[in-house]
Amino acid sequence: MKSFTIKTLTLAVALALPFAGGAVFAQGKPEDAGKPPLSAPDKPAKPEKPGDKPMLLAPAEKAKKASAILNKVLGKPGSRPGLIKANKQVFYAGDTMTIELALPASLKPLLNKQAEAQVLMYVPGGSAVAFPVKMLGEGRLVESVIDTSAIPAGVYQLALVLVKPGGDAAKIGDWYEGFGALVSVTRIKISAEAAADVEDADGDGMVDGDMGGDGFVDEVVDGEDTSEWDYLFDDEEEAEGDTGESEEPTEEPAAEEPASEEPAAEEPASEEPAAEEPASEEPAETSAEEGSETEEDEEAEAA
């Protein structure tokens, strides 16, 4: 006998519902299966009255109503916490991790028509990868014992994102109707510590300062002294400055010092105009001599 898991049965029921529901509602009651459908007698159409609204909306009006409904259904980014839920927020080596996914009923009419649901995972190192929910299915996504030698320690973030049909949640341009498509977010951390992590001082597996159970601290620090943060970041910069590559630029200015003395060597060139001063006096002496000779000639003529 072939065995079925709960997840397999749930998926089978979900696939069968559209066909079973269609048969039941098309034929009426189950015992009426095979009988021709009953049709109501024709009724005379009501005369149209002035001011009656048409049944079909104009495209512009339809778009307005659709936008308003989507704003109510999607809400602001991350407005549905708990759709991706982990049994803990901080995991240590040997802990059992379980992650479950649930889709609210209000989102399901959008799926496979206007949008697709995907799980976007952000991993340590800055990369992100997306998985279609229809491939993962609802229910328990992950159940594994943490092995820090196989799973890198660090922060992992999971988000439920609605995308356009055929889209990729890793590309923001593919998100359905903008940032409201970021439906739910959760954050988990695989700690490299043996017991208490810096974010889990009491070692209970929950992030300190998080009341919502999504792994994010609820109260954002603002208006306080952040010199400690600057100091932490400065430590990283100093550590990078200890490498041999960073020391090379500091030696270059010392090697260029002789070049700074070159202007001093050019000082004699600036004295050359001063050496030419006697030459400028010669015309003055010549003019004086010429003046005296002119006076002597005049005296001789007068005599």
Q: For residue range 174-216, list pLDDT tens digits in order.
A: 999 899 999 999 999 999 888 889 899 988 888 998 888 888 8
Q: Read off the pTM.
A: 0.55
**In the 3-class helix/strand/coil scheme, how is the chain assigned residue by residue?**
CCCCCHHHHHHHHHHHHHHHHHHHHHHCCHHHCCCCCCCCCCCCCCCCCCCCCCCCCCHHHHHHHHHHHHHHHHCCCCCCCCCEEECCCEECCCCEEEEEECCCCCCCCCECCCEEEEEEEECCCCCEEEEEHHHHCCEEEEEEECCCCCCCCEEEEEEEEEECCCCCCCCHHHECCHHHHEEEEEEEEECCCCCCECCECCCCCCCCCCCCCCCCCCCCCCCCCCHHHHHHHHHHHHHHHCCHHHHHHHHHHHHCHHHHCHHHHCHHHHHHHHHCHHHHHHHHHHHHHHHHHHHHHHHHHHC
Domain covering 76-216 in this structure, CATH number: 2.60.40.1930
Average pLDDT on 263-277 reads: 51
Q: What is the pLDDT of residue 21?
A: 33
**Model confidence over 144-174: pLDDT tens digits?**
888 887 888 999 999 999 999 999 999 999 9
Read off the pLDDT of residues 240-259 as tens digits, 9 standing for 90 and up.
Answer: 555 545 445 555 555 555 55
Q: Please give the pLDDT value at position 241.
A: 53
